[in-house]
Structure 1
C-alpha cells in the first residue's frame, strides 16, 4: 500500500539534486524515489530546496550560524513538522540532521533517524531517545561499530549513488580533484600540499557554509595554498560535477574525520575515476587499494598516489560502482525498512 513519509532535513543546508552534503543527497534521492513509486513524500527542509514531493519550508539562516541563529531555526523546524503532521496522515517520519534531537516530533508516528555522521559527534542522549517508536541506524559497517555500547541501533543501510546518471565520456585530463564542504575535518589543505609535491594541478570544488570555523579555515588554510595550478572553483551542480569527476586523473579525499561513508568517492568510481584517500573511517570499505584507488598514510604517499592514479583502470572503477554502490539497492533497503517501521 502507498506510504506517506515525512522526511526532515538538516535545516541549514538545502536539499536537491545539486546538494553538497551527503545527508541532503540521500534525502533527495529518497524523495524522488518515493514519488516515482507512487508514495507521498513530504519534506521539511530549507526554503530554497528543490524536492519532488511537497515542501514544508524552513527559512534560511540570516547570516552566520551561531547559537542564537540555531535556536531560531530549530523553532521554525519544529513548527513545520507540527504543520505537516497536523495536515497529513503520516505513516513515518524520517530524520536526517545531526541536530535531530532538537525537533523530534511528539510521540505517536514512528520515527526513523539516519545517523549520517560519526556517532560521537552526537550527544549521547540523542542516541538514546526517550521518545517511543524511534529507531536509529547508520550507513556503514565501520560507523555501526562506533556507536556507544548499549545504544539500540538497526543494521546499517550503505549509501548509494545514481550510477547510470553518472555515466559520461570525457577525455581524461591531468588534474586531481577535490569535492565537498570546505571545513577543517575534510583536510583539503593536505590535498593542496600533496598536489604541489606531485607537481599536479588540482581543482577544489565545494561550498564554504557560513559557520565562523569554516570561514576561518578557508581564509587561513585554503586561500594561502591556491595558485595558478591549484584553484578553488566554488560549488558545482550535478552536471558539472559529473564532467569534472569523469575528466579528473583522480579524486583526492584527504579527510581527517572518521568518514561514515563517502558519496563523492562512490560518484568518482561511477565516473571511471580512481580515488586517493586517507584510510579514515569507512573509506577502506569504498576504495579497493591498488584496483580502484590508493589508501595512503601521509602527504608524500598522497603525492605518489596522485602520480600513479593514471595507471589504474577506469573500467574497473565503473564495474566496482555498478556492483557495490548502485542507488537502486539503497532505495530498496530503505523502502523495506519504511514498511517495517510503519507497521
Structure 2
C-alpha cells in the first residue's frame, strides 16, 4: 500500500530523548517500509527514516528555542498533507484532533491513533462531533471515558525485536525508574519503595517545564535524603538498553489512567521484569507472575521485590516476543488499513505506479 504517516512535530521521528508517540511512529514507519509498503512520513526535518520524509520544520519544536506557539507549524503540517492526500491509499494520523475538520473529503482512507489520556472533560463532546472517523486505541482501558465513537481497533504498541537485547542475569541489581518526573508517574512512590526495600534506585527521567516545581519542591529533596537513590536525568535510546538491562526490575508506580506505558514493553524486551501499580493499561500489558507483578500498594510492591528471584527472565522476554514486536503492530495496522471503507487496494496502487487509470476501489 501507499501509506502516509503524520507525526507530531514536538520531537523528531525517532526522538532524540523522551517521546513515546514519535518513537512508535518511527517503529511503525520503518517496519511498514521493511514489509514492502510505500510510506511517506510527514514530520520534523531532523527525523531519520527509510520512508520518504516530508520535512515540515527544520528540527523538532521542543529542541528549537525560538518556537513559542506550536499551532502554526501544525497548520503547515496539515496543509502539506492536504496537498498530497490523493496520493495515498491510507493516511494515518498521530496528532490527536487538529486534523479532523480537514479530512472530511477523504475520511474513508484515514485513521487516527489516540496516544494520550482520554479522561479529559473537553474530549467527549469533540469526538461526538466527529463520530464517523476511524479511531485506534492503544489499550482497551484507554477507551473507557469516551462516548460511542467509531473504534477501528485496539492495537498495542510494538518494538523492533532487535532494538533492545535481553540480559538474562541480574545485571547490577538496582531498581529502575524511567520516564518523566510528574505527579501521575509517582517517582515519590518509587523512592519510598526503594528506601524501604534497601535496594538502590536509579531514576532516568525527563523534567518538563510544567513539572519543574514538582521536582524542586517534592522529588529533589527525597533524592537528597536517600543515599541509595541516584537521579541520572534524561537518557537517549542507546543508554536505555544498558539502563534497563542491568536493572533487577523496573518500577512503574503510576497513579493515573496510563494509555499504554511504552517503558513496560521496553523493559520486557530487555528481559527485565516490571513491578507496576494496577492503573490504566497495566493489567493488559503485564502477565502477573510471568513478565512482572501487578500491585495495589507500596507494601505489595515491596513484597513483589522479594518474589523477583522466582521469575525467569527468559519468560519475560518471551512475553515480549509473543505480543509486543513492531512486526505484529504493523501487521495489525495494515489489516485495519485494508478494512477502511475508502481504502485503495494494492492493485490500485500498482496500476497508479504503471501510469494506468486507477479508480478508487472500496475494500469490503
Task: Give the Cα–Cα distance (whole angstroms) in 1 for the partners of residues 322 and 32 of structure 2.
Answer: 23
Give the aligned partner of residue 252 of structure 1.
251
Structure 2 residue 176 is the aligned partner of structure 1 residue 177: yes
Seen in structure 2, the aligned counterparts of structure 1 residues 196 and 25 have a Cα distance that, compared at 3 Å, is same
Seen in structure 2, the aligned counterparts of structure 1 residues 216 and 41 have a Cα distance that, compared at 3 Å, is farther
Give the aligned partner of residue 165 of structure 1.
163
Give the aligned partner of residue 128 of structure 2.
128
Give the aligned partner of residue 60 of structure 1.
61
Checking the alignment, whether the CA contact within 8 Å between 1:42 and 1:56 is kept in structure 2 is no
- For the pair shown, the structure with the greater C-alpha radius of gyration is 2
Seen in structure 2, the aligned counterparts of structure 1 residues 128 and 56 have a Cα distance that, compared at 3 Å, is farther
Seen in structure 2, the aligned counterparts of structure 1 residues 276 and 32 have a Cα distance that, compared at 3 Å, is same
Seen in structure 2, the aligned counterparts of structure 1 residues 139 and 197 have a Cα distance that, compared at 3 Å, is same
Segment drifting more, 102-111 vs 113-122: 102-111
Checking the alignment, whether the CA contact within 8 Å between 2:32 and 2:330 is kept in structure 1 is no
Checking the alignment, whether the CA contact within 8 Å between 1:26 and 1:159 is kept in structure 2 is yes
1:2-30 deviations in whole A, cap 9, x for unaligned?
A: 3131x222332332065523322211111
Residue 285 of structure 1 aligns to a residue whose secondary structure is: helix
Task: Give the Cα–Cα distance (whole angstroms) in 2 for the partners of residues 173 and 194 of structure 1.
Answer: 18
TM-score (norm 2): 0.82
Residue 340 of structure 1 deviates from its aligned partner by: 2.7
Give the aligned partner of residue 326 of structure 1.
325
Residue 47 of structure 1 deviates from its aligned partner by: 4.4
Residue 206 of structure 1 deviates from its aligned partner by: 2.3
Structure 2 residue 27 is the aligned partner of structure 1 residue 32: no
Q: Map of 1:173-212 to 2, 5 A cutoff? A: 173-210=172-209, 212=210
Residue 120 of structure 1 aligns to a residue whose secondary structure is: coil
Task: Give the Cα–Cα distance (whole angstroms) in 1 for the partners of residues 202 and 308 of structure 2.
Answer: 16
Checking the alignment, whether the CA contact within 8 Å between 1:107 and 1:131 is kept in structure 2 is no
Seen in structure 2, the aligned counterparts of structure 1 residues 49 and 193 have a Cα distance that, compared at 3 Å, is farther
Residue 274 of structure 1 deviates from its aligned partner by: 0.9
Residue 234 of structure 1 aligns to a residue whose secondary structure is: coil
Query: For this pair of structures, how many residues does the alignment match?
Result: 331
Structure 2, gaps ≥5 residues long: 345-364
Give the aligned partner of residue 298 of structure 1.
297
Q: Map of 1:2-21 to 2, 5 A cutoff? A: 2-5=1-4, 7-16=5-14, 18=16, 20-21=18-19
1:209-238 deviations in whole A, cap 9, x for unaligned?
A: 33x2x2222222221121442112122222
Segment drifting more, 318-327 vs 158-167: 158-167
Residue 252 of structure 1 deviates from its aligned partner by: 0.5
TM-score (norm 1): 0.86
Residue 278 of structure 1 deviates from its aligned partner by: 0.4
Checking the alignment, whether the CA contact within 8 Å between 2:100 and 2:130 is kept in structure 1 is no
RMSD: 2.6
Q: Map of 1:40-51 to 2, 5 A cutoff? A: 40-51=38-49
Give the aligned partner of residue 222 of structure 1.
219
Task: Give the Cα–Cα distance (whole angstroms) in 2 for the partners of residues 147 and 91 of structure 1.
Answer: 31
Give the aligned partner of residue 355 of structure 2.
none
